[in-house]
Amino acid sequence: MDLEVRVVGGIESCFVSLPLSLIQTLQSTRSSASLPPVLALELRSLTNQQGEEEVWHAAWSGSASGSSAIEVAQQLAECISLPDRITVKVRAVANLPKATLVMIEPNNEDDWEVLELNSEHAEVAILKQVGIVHEGMRFPLWLHGHTVLLFHVVSTFPRKSVVQLVPGTEVAVAPKRRKTNVDSYQESNIQGSKREESMKKALLRVQDPDRKLFWISEFNGVDLHVVLTSFVFIHPDTAKNWMFDNLQLVIILPRLSPKDNMKTNKNNNQKKSSSNAREGNVGVLMNKEASRHAVVRLLLSESVVRGHVMIPRSLRLYLRAGLHSWVYVKECNSTPQKDIPLLKLSPCQFKLLGNDTTIKKPDLGLLESRRKGRTRSMSSKTNLLADTGITDFSIHEEVVAALSSESLKYEVEEAKSQSDTAKCQQSLLHAWFSAQLKGIASNSGVDVRSLVLGNETLLHFEVMGRNFGTHVKEQASFCGSFENRNRIEEPRVELFYLLTNSIESSHNGKLGTFELALMGDYKSIDNLRHFELSFGKLDLGDPIHLDSVKDKVFEESISSTLCSLSWMQKAASEVIHRLTVLLSPTSGKLFNMYTLPLPGHVLIYGPPGSGKTSLVTAVAKTFEEHEEILAHIMFLRCSMLALEKLHTIQEAISGYISEALDHSPSLVIFDDLDSIVSSSSDSEGSQHSSSITAFVEFLTDLMDEYAEKRQVSCGIGPVAFLACVQSLGNLPQSLSSSGRFDFHVPLPAPAVSERGAILKHEIYKRSLQCSEDILFDIASKCDGYDAYDLEMLVDRAVHAAVARFLSSHFAMEEHDKPILVREDFSLAMHDFLPVAMRGITKSASDGGRTGWEDVGGLMDIRNAIQEMVELPSKFPSIFAQAPLRLRSNVLLYGPPGCGKTHIVGAAAAACSLRFISVKGPELLNKYIGASEQAVRDVFSKAAAAAPCLLFFDEFDSIAPKRGHDNTGVTDRVVNQLLTELDGVEVLTGVFVFAATSRPDLLDAALLRPGRLDRLLFCDFPSWRERVDILTVLSRKLPLASDVDLDAVASLTEGFSGADLQALLSDAQLASVHELLESDTSNDHHQPREIPVISNELLKSVASRARPSVSESEKRRLYSIYNQFLDSKKSVAAQSRDAKGKRATLA
């Protein structure tokens, strides 16, 4: 369609207005009901002066023009060189891609300065005013209705002809600063060495220091540890790649995150500070407020990981560079000043502040999960590294006074004169200087006679083995140090001083350095005792507070390693393999080289107590100490966020992921992720589910955005996500899709060998001993126990052992380890129920059943159940090799009272199976979906308790034929039962039994092969079976010696097992009445006789008893059972049965 373009004023937007005719045409050509919110249009001119077509792109958001022409803002038309009243052909751009990253730059320095002062407003305005961009495009931006800024688009991602700006698109603005009036020397120096500096400016990651960053010396009889803060270590390969030399003088600058950099730029522009040495290429401001720098020497060491720099923690605190953060290491070309007339030594303390990327809400400090882990932050170890401001510097005075006296036995007050203090301060500087020289010589093999220092240099001392005042008493029990955080150390006092040069640099904006050298000629620095340094005077400065940031380190309690978790070696190896692919820099280069998509992240699922948290903490510790990765660990306990609002959860996770990106390679762990992404059944209302949906979308967008930027930007380091859930069903499908949590690692219930390994690990962890045979025997008896249950079992066994030791007054040597015996575990297992067994009973202790001895008669039924249940449960390894799936589900049917329920309980007791009995109607619920959920829960409970016997009594009440229920509840229950019995997931170790007196009412699909395919008929007992039943039931009854049970069995023809039990109960009650009537003695002191059931009494009761099922009811039931069996037989089988006589119903 050909239309005219008109340039109009008064429009403050880059969106165009279209005539109604064009809008209707666009609407008619769209297959969907409405046009998109932003539509990209291609405007193509007919011909230009050179006879060529010109193309412009514009965005439309629904605005209609007041004429038949396309209306464009005047400023936009000038930027894109669109002439007024030109006739163009209009075409809608299909499949408009969404931009993830857009690089722009302001038109001039004025626009940049205005943008810095209005950065927050500009972020909102650019999305509202600019719809589409492309490389090379110029566009205006209106601020506050009167200010117009012009920008140029440098690049876009994806690299398409036109991309759309959407919420979430990252817009990066390249600064355009004014040139300052510097002298000719500095200008020539910068221009002349620009190429050299760019070659020798490295971005390295901070590594934790080791023992070699200390130098131990003696000061007036006191052990004084001097931290070596004048040099850092890098790997020789790293030095070769960046063309650094050994002992080269460098400057270390912390890399500010984009968020910190924006805040710093804004503050500096508001303050109009003119003393900033700007590093435009790296975005680091050199002023004291923005970031501190350190002038150090580089030493080479193989112990440093490639691409890392090993910096002492005290120097990191001064630089405000946390562990695993990134710093710039840059060659220092400044000429150091010599013969400094005045130096100032000021005591200082660090005030540790929270990181800007973390959560500002105080209640979210729980995310750190400092339960009982050994902290690695010095903020809890010394009063000089505090979370809050400390103004008391008396600790410096006490230590200095003690060191300045010739003997520490003198009182502190006697040694506080100004001269002694000044002398001691100078001696401390000499001790620090000597330690630095010796440390350099020891680690590089080169003797140096001087140190080149910056205008500010940090001095760090540790006084060992002395208590000074109340401050040291508080820290006397802390454990951990720079070099070894796992052993308890002696009390220490840490002193920090800041050595400053009082003369500022002569060149504005240039880093100032000065040289501190030995005065005189010394052949060796090994025995430096009394020497002079090349400076005039040392003054004592005022105390200084330095702000710093806390180290974000993994502080979970590591009670086990991957080596100790031997029962989870397979799962651990799978997790480590996938995470290595995600975090390794080598694999990242290969994926980018071949343009392959990044693999998905890891999801570990298993029931509660299966060891998920133990596994992820051990994996995290492994990658934190990995020699090539040194991953930064971010551990989130999602269960602590379950009750928080959606905004709070999003803020927390955004902060932690941002920090993970700033410290990459990082591993982000979501423990109990299902606690915030799965809606519980008791959480009613749409608000809860909508919040979960919103959070799931938020998390998936974060993961997708990271994956896109990781492949196209070299500034985005590797970050891996590891999540733990109880079940895959608790995780939304969108989170487990490809590229997200698509690598699933199950943690099933431990088998016998795994349980033995867990018991061995728990016993070893407690420094105990136990026989291997005992452990294997106990493990074989702990079916259904998970790792948590076994840990509790060992604790109970330890308690039993302690009681045994105390009762026997057993004397044990100190070097002997306590030994656990079988009796300790037997006492521990008594009345102990594992978590999965809560609400589950064992038939052996239920009603006093002991097994098959409680069953009289039913020999055929008993043999069939033994074949199906007892043998596979006792020899699972043999039956596991069967090529076909064995039948393990049984339907018991027959007249009421014939022992269907009784024999199932006895079978569970005889086979040592856990027994879950479900009464039919208790599963039904009036709410839609509740009945099916109850069925799923029952089968999940049985699977967790395997080996288990799941018994459905009165099965016809919950599984009738489908289509006969008006509500449809039982139909859905039958469908769920069919899925559970013969679904994709095979029930392992679960035997399903059902009992009914009306099998004809059951749905036919439940009785097909693979489901309840074994039918066992429990008929009325015969004479021989009645004798067996009476014998079993009367074992605990006081019978006379002349009782003839055979005769009683002959009198009870047609009685069921329940009728025979009722007969014996009546006989026992009758014997009591007979004894009471015959007792005429008034002497109550004489012991009464025990009522005994005589033969005559038993026969009398039997002759009066009647069966509970009448003959007519029997005939009706037999007719039903015959029809039921006939319906189950094939046509050929029915024809064979018609030729002969039916021998039995079973």
Same domain membership, residue 708 and residue 651 = yes
- How many angstroms separate the CA atoms of 276 and 1052, rounded? 109
Give residue 271's pLDDT band: very low, low, confident or very high (50, 70, 90): very low
Burial class (CB in 10 A: 0-12, 13-18, 19+), 47: exposed
Least confident of 174-183, 242-251, 959-968: 174-183
Tell me the average pLDDT of the chain.
Answer: 77
Least confident of 354-368, 801-815, 880-894: 354-368
In a domain, 408, yes or no: yes
Least confident of 167-181, 284-298, 610-624: 284-298
How many other β-carbons are positioned within 10 Å of the β-carbon of residue 470? 10
Same domain membership, residue 595 and residue 487 = no
* Higher-confidence position of 942 and 329: 329
- How many angstroms separate the CA atoms of 239 and 245, rounded? 7
What's the token pair of residue 651?
A: 């803020």
- How many angstroms separate the CA atoms of 252 and 400, rounded? 30
How many other β-carbons are positioned within 10 Å of the β-carbon of residue 713? 13
Same domain membership, residue 526 and residue 512 = yes
Sign, Cα dihedral of 503, 508, 509, 513 = negative
What's the token pair of residue 243?
A: 């063309």
Q: Average pLDDT for residues 92-100, to the nearest whole number?
A: 86
Give residue 11's pLDDT band: very low, low, confident or very high (50, 70, 90): confident
Least confident of 67-71, 247-251, 449-453, 992-996: 449-453
Q: Are strands 819-820 and 769-770 parallel, antiparallel or unpaired?
A: parallel
Same domain membership, residue 761 and residue 693 = no
Give residue 361's pLDDT band: very low, low, confident or very high (50, 70, 90): very low
Greatest CA separation for the chain = 138
Query: Is 390 in a helix, a strand, or coil?
Result: coil
Classify residue 815 by its DSSP letter: T
Instruction: Calculate the CA 616 to chain-centre distance.
Output: 7
Same domain membership, residue 817 and residue 888 = no
Out of 539, 557, 578, pick the residue that ends a domain: 539
Cβ atoms 825, 759 nearer than 8 A: no
pLDDT of 843 strictly over 60: no
Least confident of 491-495, 564-568, 781-785, 985-989: 985-989
* Higher-confidence position of 293 and 198: 293
What's the token pair of residue 616?
A: 């992820």
Written as one letter, the residue type at 154 is V
Written as one letter, the residue type at 71 is E
Burial class (CB in 10 A: 0-12, 13-18, 19+), 416: middle
Give residue 291's pLDDT band: very low, low, confident or very high (50, 70, 90): low
Res 1116: pLDDT: 92
* Higher-confidence position of 266 and 828: 828
Cβ atoms 829, 887 nearer than 8 A: no
Instruction: Calculate the CA 854 to chain-centre distance.
Output: 51
In a domain, 773, yes or no: yes
Same domain membership, residue 574 and residue 504 = no
* Phi, psi (rounded to 5 degrees) for 1048: -65, -40
Q: How far is CA 116 from CA 106, 143, 509, 965, in A?
A: 11, 12, 21, 71
Q: Average pLDDT for residues 591-596, to the nearest whole number?
A: 74
Same domain membership, residue 130 and residue 49 = yes
- How many angstroms separate the CA atoms of 1100 and 1092, rounded? 14
In a domain, 514, yes or no: yes
Classify 739 in phi/psi space as left (phi over 0), alpha (psi -120 to 50) or beta.
left
Res 184: pLDDT: 43
Same domain membership, residue 231 and residue 168 = no
pLDDT in tens, 97-131: 888 888 899 988 888 888 888 887 888 889 889 99
Strand order in the sheet with 1014-1017: 841-842, 914-919, 948-953, 990-996, 889-893, 1014-1017
- How many angstroms separate the CA atoms of 463 and 476, rounded? 12
Burial class (CB in 10 A: 0-12, 13-18, 19+), 678: middle
pLDDT of 70 strictly over 80: yes
In a domain, 1117, yes or no: no
pLDDT of 946 strictly over 80: no
Query: Is 99 in a helix, a strand, or coil?
Result: coil
Question: Which residues is 71 bridged to in the sheet?
Answer: 6, 17
pLDDT of 273 strictly over 50: no
Q: How far is CA 1038 from CA 1001, 1009, 1086, 1096, in A?
A: 43, 48, 20, 14
Least confident of 384-398, 661-675, 766-780: 384-398
In a domain, 547, yes or no: no
* Higher-confidence position of 525 and 190: 525
Give residue 1068's pLDDT band: very low, low, confident or very high (50, 70, 90): confident
In a domain, 560, yes or no: no
Q: Average pLDDT for residues 832-839, to the nearest whole number?
A: 72
CATH number at residue 617: 3.40.50.300
- How many angstroms separate the CA atoms of 628 and 633, rounded? 15
For residue 793, give the nearest of 828, 766, 767 by alpha carbon.
828
Give residue 357's pLDDT band: very low, low, confident or very high (50, 70, 90): very low
Same domain membership, residue 387 and residue 518 = yes
* Phi, psi (rounded to 5 degrees) for 382: -145, 150
Cβ atoms 317, 271 nearer than 8 A: no
Same domain membership, residue 1068 and residue 975 = no
pLDDT in tens, 1108-1127: 888 899 999 999 989 888 88
Q: How far is CA 941 from CA 611, 767, 937, 945, in A?
A: 18, 35, 6, 6
- Range(s) of the domain holding residue 948: 841-1017
Res 236: pLDDT: 93
Same domain membership, residue 310 and residue 164 = no
CATH number at residue 773: 1.10.8.60
Give residue 200's pLDDT band: very low, low, confident or very high (50, 70, 90): low
Highest mean pLDDT among 296-310, 458-472, 686-700, 1030-1044: 296-310
Out of 119, 140, 173, pick the residue that ends a domain: 173
Burial class (CB in 10 A: 0-12, 13-18, 19+), 119: middle
Axis-axis angle for helices 1057-1078, 1095-1104 (nearest 10): 130
Highest mean pLDDT among 41-50, 780-789, 932-941: 932-941
Give residue 714's pLDDT band: very low, low, confident or very high (50, 70, 90): low
Classify residue 809 by its DSSP letter: T
The 3-class secondary structure across 283-310, one letter per residue, is CEECCCCCCCCEEEEEEECCCCCCCEEE
Cβ atoms 120, 262 nearer than 8 A: no
Give residue 470's pLDDT band: very low, low, confident or very high (50, 70, 90): very low
Res 577: pLDDT: 93
Number of domains in the chain: 6
- How many angstroms separate the CA atoms of 203 and 586, rounded? 18
Instruction: Calculate the CA 1110 to chain-centre distance.
Output: 65
Res 485: pLDDT: 38
- How many angstroms separate the CA atoms of 773 and 794, rounded? 16
Out of 970, 995, 1017, pick the residue that ends a domain: 1017
* Phi, psi (rounded to 5 degrees) for 112: -65, -45
In a domain, 731, yes or no: yes
In a domain, 558, yes or no: no
Same domain membership, residue 454 and residue 496 = yes
pLDDT of 140 strictly over 90: yes
* Higher-confidence position of 785 and 181: 785
Written as one letter, the residue type at 1049 is A
What's the token pair of residue 413?
A: 């007050």
